[in-house]
Structure 1
């Protein structure tokens, strides 16, 4: 397998080299046996982490899936990607994370956000930033064997936990306020804001503003970039593989960040978005997006094009993790195992 030698180093403020880490997003829309096989292959290839989507009506339960992965892998880190405070009480979340950390031998991480498909498919709005902040604080306190205050004002702690569970918390960040908040309170940030240099530069400006407001050194925050991945000998087919994932990212943008025809396309996606097609491969709203937007939010193309795009993102000194999300859904017959094998052979081996 080629993946073990593909990490790209970055320099910290003290001159030390830190390896770039490659993650894989998992949409548990397939039987768990299939998901386990995919993640075991990802581990063999050299992926550093797995991020399992939490969207209860579109995917299998995130914590059940993570438990299955924990007992069928040995090295790869495991994370929610991402959970949220509206359907997950902080005590339930902390208990699940601590148990999974124990089961996996200390390999758990947690991605947390305000919620998108997991709430929209229930007819609920995203959690407010204050709710997210309180959720993160309570989960962190419980994992540290401390007493936490819950939304109803009641206070309690986990009595079963014998020692602190060291589970890093990453905050999913799309807009400026959430990005700034994540930089203030989380261990890491997951940027779902595109891959173009100007978009990532803007995101890091927001991170820097948030960290500075809290008197925090931004270098202490682990920064991940969420990257839709499409791979095919035909560049157009590769772009089509990621359009639905880019459309999901577009739902968390401000149309005023775009101009002209692109702004109109963004508005059209946001007006026509079908929540129950969020995990699908053939979403009606995805075809609206022009190629230029797809190219700014995803890495998609021939093996040569994917290698170039991935190398460019991984060379950025301000990113610690690159999390790839290939399309895999219940309404499509995407061969994820085949895609991972080709990614290993044609991308990682030659990166």
Structure 2
């Protein structure tokens, strides 16, 4: 593609307080980013943070990337999404995903049949957000008789997806798909699966926006930026699907060493031992000394099937809030 739209998110690390995340949303709007996203893990609640950001911004889209479908009932999510849509004046994007077994255990839920879980959940939420009364008894999610007491403009729903089945489901029933750290080959897989889903659902091609996620860090001391991104490589490289994806990109030897070092020394030391050339094999991991260098590396994504790229900033200094602000100011001036 020739014109890539850029969105922004602060890494889900909890080193930045809630007020700093809201300030980042303001700065991202001033820097010209299309959307500001906030993820969900075990830290500051994205619904609360995005609600505060809606009051401090006026143009930028605000999205959840992602809310976990096992963390709250479909009715609760519909209420939260509708409220954020009202607060933001129609700027909210609802990102949903299934997470993993660890996250499921936090909420006392079983991690089972992710595809069916998302399909049932999205169906219930879509009904509620569109003003209907829910009537669904599924194997994983159920809701009966719930109807929102107020109406809002239509809320777009985005699904987190890496593989072809979830991407195809997004093509059938979502407005967008969020995929993480994909290279051109991965984006081709996601894009073709989304288009297949659109066709099966009788939707026009291109109904679903495809967003790729890039994780980056900028520091005049390149070693510090690289160390921050090493942690990302290690975190994802130890997960099954990402390990396979990174291996396809050419990082197989480093991934084998990562697993061995993790078992011997633990995560921190294993991450510190990831070689730079392994990180370079993953286009979605960027360590740089300047915004200009970041923009140069991002040109790669002009030739992929992504409609937009979400930049997730990974702080590398002792003052992450100021670091994020500096990056956004530099982006605006570059």
Q: TM-score range by the shorter chain?
A: 0.7 to 0.9
Please tell me whether the aligned partners of residues 198 and 205 of structure 2 are also in contact (alpha carbons under 8 angstroms).
Answer: yes
Q: Pick from 172, 180, 184: which aligns with 1:197?
A: 184
Query: How far 1:121 moved relative to its partner?
Result: 5.5
Alpha-carbon distance between aligned partners in 1 of 2:259 and 2:211, rounded to the nearest angstrom: 25
For the residue of structure 2 that corresponds to 1:79, the secondary structure is: strand
**Separation in 2, partners of 1:211, 1:272:** 43
Structure 2 vs 1, CA of residues 159 and 233 (structure 1 numbering), >3 Å: closer, same or farther?
closer
Name the counterpart of 1:323: 310
Residues in 2 aligned to 1:197 and 1:124: alpha-carbon distance in whole angstroms: 35
SS of 1:309's equivalent in the other structure is helix
Gaps of 5+ in 1: 1-7, 11-18
- Check 1:220–1:27 CA distance in 2 against 1; reply closer, same or farther (3 A cut): same
Give aligned pairs, total: 321
Distance 2:322 2:143 in 1: 47
Q: Give the alignment's Cα RMSD to 1 decimal.
A: 3.2
Q: Tell me, what secondary structure is at the counterpart of 1:219? A: coil
TM-score by length of 2: 0.82
After superposing the two structures, state which structure 1 stretch, 141-150 or 295-304, moved more: 295-304
Which residue of 2 is the match for residue 88 of structure 1? Answer: 72
- 8 Å contact kept, 1:193–1:249: no
The alpha carbon displacement at 1:224 in A equals 0.8
Which stretches of structure 1, 4 residues or longer, exceed 6 Å deviation after superposition? 270-274
Instruction: Give the 5 Å matches for 1:282-301.
Output: 283-287=268-272, 289-295=274-280, 296=282, 297-301=284-288
Q: CA-to-partner distance for each residue in 1:267-308, whole Å, 9 max, x for gaps?
A: 56568879xx9xxxx845533544344221312223243121
Distance across 2 between alignment mates of 1:243 and 1:292:
11
Q: Unaligned 5+ residue runs, structure 2?
A: none
Alignment TM-score, normalising by the size of structure 1:
0.79
* Inter-CA distance 218–241: structure 2 relative to 1 (3 Å threshold): farther
SS at match of 2:66: strand
- Structure 1 position 187 matched with structure 2 position 175: yes
2-side partners of 1:73 and 1:318: how far apart? 30
How far residue 125 of structure 1 moved from its aligned partner, in angstroms, is: 5.8
1:52 corresponds to which residue?
Answer: 38
Partner of 1:14: none
> CA offsets, 1:55-79, max 9 Å, x none?
1x2x111211111212222222111
